Amino acid sequence: MKILVAVKRVIDYNVQIRVKEDGTGVVTDNVKMSTNPPDDNAIEEAVKIKEAGKATEVVAVTVGEEKAQETIRKALAVGADRGIHVKVDGMLEPLAVSKILQKVVDKEKPDLVFMGKQAIDDDCNQTGQMLSALLNWPQATFASKIEVKDNTLEVTREIDEGLETIEINVPAIVTCDLRLNEPRYASLPNIMKAKKKPIEEIVASDLSLDVSPRLEQLKVEEPPKRKAGIKVANVAELVQKLKNEAKVI
């Protein structure tokens, strides 16, 4: 079994996001970047499945600029066997990424495609579902537990009502939730070994795909600051303010 894992380079989740003065986007210059957190869970699960003897190869793939190769190196350092870097400048919408991943899947012919449930930069939660539609493969989203069987997967999903367990045929697309596992840290020896593992480079423009944006971003602005709260003397005053000022009761 071969597992392809899609990873994305995003602004680190600990960074305080700042909007550009001209409102054209967020500041990324000299900002710490890292792998999208749910993608770390996807890599960890793929490596665990390989360590259990149920997969023979784990391939990490990323779509992005030159520096996005850092996410591939991190995946290689925690257990992926090789990487694929599809080079493209600028931001891509989920449909464009899905089209590129479809080309990679057609070339690599994996049995499973793992990725994070969503990216923390755009929060779209669309790429896995769109890739499933393009490939006509079954999908299991928001996975918090995965059990590999002969030709199927048993996946426990995080849904609004609680947990849902489904069984899907392989090949399939799985988007991973943060509660799926605890990603490991890369040791120094493995980081050094990762530098010698192969990374194939593909230029997105060579794939003969239309990846032009379909949405126009008009303006980016910070959310309004919350007003300071107030203290009330008793329950009666609280009820009065909720009824007459907030008008929620």
Beta bridge partner(s), residue 166: 155
pLDDT digits (tens, 9 = 90+) for 225-234: 888 888 888 9
Q: Is residue 144's pLDDT more than 90?
A: yes
Nearest to 108 by CA among 68, 90, 142, 81: 81
CATH of 2-224, one of 3.40.50.620, 1.20.1530.20, 2.40.160.40, 1.10.940.10: 3.40.50.620
Please list the alpha-helical segments (H only) found in the chain: 37-51, 69-77, 94-108, 127-135, 188-194, 235-244
Angstrom distance (rounded) from CA 172 to CA 55: 14
Q: Is residue 171's pLDDT more than 90?
A: yes
CB–CB of 151/185 below 8 Å? Answer: no
For 143, the token pair is 């996975």
pLDDT digits (tens, 9 = 90+) for 114-129: 999 999 988 899 999 9
Identify the pLDDT of residue 172. 95
Q: What whole-number percentage of the chain has pLDDT above 90?
A: 61
